[in-house]
Structure 1
């Protein structure tokens, strides 16, 4: 089975590609050639690497080159617009394709209207990123219904794991927050600290893609949340990290406007807003039922593995 993974050197692909190789797939990794995978598995020697950059190609040329590989399966991890989705599906329609997997996001939901959130409930995206993901999902499912295009949509949560800056208890990616907690210093959370985050290990996100491939018939035409079993409040997250570092918690709460003044950095404020405005809890019952999804990592295990990597690699001494 020839499988093309677009963006395979990133967070998800680093865990997905070894799973595919061990399962007997012939894998082609499409990347810009600017980064190495986050996992150091010797099995990567069996992966064919192709350097391609969608942004550097003429309109439609990138998709035609993907189609030219004539793969059975295409996993698209770096598609961010409806226009690119349309161009890709048009290019793939006359190939040997048996399955196209599109990486969306829980951000396609926007703000929660009921909990737990289900994959197919009405979506109200808050920004262009979420709107483009939601429009692509709608387009792909319509294409499946009308023309039997073999697609599946996967919606990851806050992807976490060792090697990159994960979302902190202040709902942004400023890893200095973990440094403060480690030293027993005070951190400041917005509002009542009751907004929620939904970390998921990149390995579990990869599992959703892999299981969708191995349960193809059940996955076709469907969307699946790629999240863990639980969400966590900002306050609960902060408390857990103080305990993990063996420190007495020192947590201050400020109303949003005061918290913004205290934080001062607009990039951090924007990051926090975009995460807490989408607070929610996302069901994985559909994934369990149709494709046998079973998260291997709890939320706190995922966070601790990520922060442990930061400690071991001196992130807080820089």
Structure 2
């Protein structure tokens, strides 16, 4: 099949595009062309790359038509954050493309009430914040489109994506690199809340696996939405203790209130911590296992360790000592 991947050089596309080429598909990617995939692979030599700025072309009303003109059998949209953009793409592809797959987010669900949260939102409050609300709106629109006999669609909703080449969501629910230095040095780490708040990570290649399986199992995936996460979730305290072990240290955690945490933390990091930890999410993957044969390779700590090791090896993360000899 000819498969068009919008945002093909991003976190998931880095792994998905080579998978699709190895499976024998003709692959076309659309991106701004400002960066290379995070992990090199020889399969990229067989990929046609189209340069386009989706944001600008959406404003001009030309992007959806550009995608439709590529003559794809399948379109994978990794880069849609607004329901207006998603609807324009659906209308342009209806009757012309066999399957549209959308990359959503587990933040389509709000804070957890009981876990694990299922795709129908059981166990979660309503989504909060513009990003989560829009991702939920897109997923509902796609499901309704297929139910009405229109374009065949599937939405997949990853957790906190982890992989080599970028900083993972850390033990405090933010991207502050000093957290890793503190843990590697065995220094006390100020932790907001109780330490039982949950984060559900997933390796980018496991997300790519889920997309590949959904493409291959079009009939099973048609009109469905799936949570795509690791088999287990981490809580703040456990995550910090596991991470300290990677450096041969024991985590020393100081529980503080949110006001005190915000006073001692840069505003952007404190806000990221609140956004992640206040949701405290753990998602079920039963549906993805049953319908897509989704079988994630990585536990969340294994995925994060791979990312941290890559950052340390490439001089992009300062730590007080080396990682001990642990399996990745």
Normalization by structure 2: what TM-score?
A: 0.94
Q: Partner residue of 1:31? A: 31
Superposition deviation, residue 38 in structure 1: 1.0
What is the aligned partner in structure 2 of residue 79 from structure 1?
80
Once residues 112 and 316 of structure 1 are traced to their aligned partners in structure 2, the CA distance between those partners, rounded to angstroms, is: 32
SS at match of 1:316: coil
How far has the Cα of 1:79 moved from its partner?
Answer: 0.4
The alpha-carbon deviation at position 94 of structure 1 amounts to: 3.5
Distance 1:52 1:300 in 2: 36
| Superposition pairs of residues 11-22 of structure 1, within 5 angstroms | 11-22=11-22
Distance 2:240 2:305 in 1: 12
Distance 2:71 2:191 in 1: 50
Structure 1 unaligned regions, length at least 5: none
CA RMSD of aligned residues (A): 1.3
**Runs of 5+ unmatched residues, structure 2:** 320-328
TM-score, reference length from structure 1:
0.97
Q: Distance in 1 between matches of 2:318 and 2:250?
A: 21
Q: Could you say what secondary structure the match of 1:257 adopts?
A: helix
Correspondence for 1:248 among 247, 250, 259: 250
1:51 aligned partner = 51
CA displacement, residues 124-150 of structure 1 (integer Å, 9 cap, x when unaligned): 111010111111111111111112320
Aligned equivalent of 1:92: 93
Alignment of 1:89-168 (within 5 A): 89-95=90-96, 97-121=97-121, 124-168=126-170
Residues of 1 paired with 2:252 and 2:314: CA distance? 25
Displacement of 1:270 in angstroms is: 0.9
Residue aligning to 2:201: 199
- Equivalent pairs counted in the alignment come to 316
Q: Measure how far apart 1:78 and its partner are.
A: 0.4
Aligned position for 2:7: 7
Shift of 1:106: 0.2
**Where does 1:280-295 land on structure 2 (aligned, <5 Å)?**
280-295=281-296
Q: Is the 8 A contact 2:39 2:165 kept in 1?
A: no
Inter-CA distance 180–195: structure 2 relative to 1 (3 Å threshold): same
- CA distance in structure 1 between the partners assigned to 2:8 and 2:55 by the alignment: 17
**SS across alignment from 2:75:** strand
- Alpha-carbon shift at residue 203 of structure 1 (Å): 0.4
Secondary structure in 2 matching 1:137: helix
- CA distance in structure 2 between the partners assigned to 1:306 and 1:178 by the alignment: 12
CA distance in 1, matches of 2:102, 2:318: 38
Q: What is the CA–CA distance in structure 2 between the aligned matches of 1:281 and 1:248, rounded to whole Å? A: 26
Secondary structure of 1:147's partner?
coil
